[in-house]
Amino acid sequence: MNKEIIGVIGAGTMGGGIAQMFAENGFQTLLWDVNDSFVNKGIENIQKRLNKSVDKGKLTAERAKDILSRINKADDLSKFSSANLIIEAIIENYDIKAELYKKLEKIVGAETIIGTNTSSLSVTDLSSNLASPERFLGIHFFNPPTKLELVEVIATPTLSQEVTQKVSDILTRCGKSAVNVNDSPGFIVNRLLLPFINEAAKLLDSGVAKAEDIDTAMRLGTLHPAGPLQVADLIGLDICKDILEKLAESLNQPNYKPAKSIVDLVKAGKLGRKTGEGFHAY
């Protein structure tokens, strides 16, 4: 049993998945959100995923129960005073995150590491809101965190090397492969993946091919396990749109602006797998 306590702030898709991943790997995990009902919903979704794995024979009922027992609801931020590592996975809003970090620093110990799962904001800019920025870094998981091996560990100019090593060691114990990235818009994956998705959407906009054919071509022609529009549906088209807009702004590159089909689908509430329809129907 791992003695470290992991705190996760934000019980949505990513936060809940991150908490579940740590619990699956033996860590005691605290989960908090701004509303108690959000935490309850997050734990309920974790239980559903675990039950699904039991039904498929991937987990025993006893193992699922054991995992769930390691996820504890934090009814107040003060509960994070005992955490060794805290990962923030809340809304991509700079001001809300900044306010949260200032509250956290008044609660946690000097050795507590604070990480953000942001996919589009500057980790360096976010770190400026802490009195001890050397303990703050980006820890960017991919959806679903329980299955995808990669984690981007994003460094700022003030980050302590010791903190980087501690986080990398924890991730390795969870079976993750950490890649080190200097803070830059989109880091590695999103900087390469989102323009790829956007170009596929632009092909659709131009009537070059249907979504199914674009995805089939890229799967079979480039050995990708899924086509770019299928990946966009998995990520969530609202998230894709938001990241593309932030990349366009931060890099001053108009070509990153989201394709019309992405914008139109988001306006229609068709966000991909999570709503049952996006570029494809589910």
Distance in angstroms (rounded) separating the CA atoms of residues 205 and 263: 11
Hey, is 114 helix, strand or coil? strand
Distance in angstroms (rounded) separating the CA atoms of residues 202 and 22: 38
Distance in angstroms (rounded) separating the CA atoms of residues 202 and 71: 42
Hey, is 18 helix, strand or coil? helix
**Known active-site residue 152:** yes
Distance in angstroms (rounded) separating the CA atoms of residues 89 and 93: 11
**Known active-site residue 190:** yes
**Known active-site residue 35:** no
**Known active-site residue 140:** yes
> Which of 25, 119, 127, 198 is flagged as catalytic?
119
Hey, is 217 helix, strand or coil? helix
> Which of 152, 168, 198, 261 is flagged as catalytic?
152
> Which of 140, 168, 198, 261 is flagged as catalytic?
140
Tokens in use for 10? 């934000």
The answer to whether 33 and 58 have CB atoms below 8 angstroms apart is no
Nearest partner of 258 among 268, 273, 248, judged by Cα: 248
Site of tokens 């996975």: 89
Catalytic residues: 119, 140, 152, 190
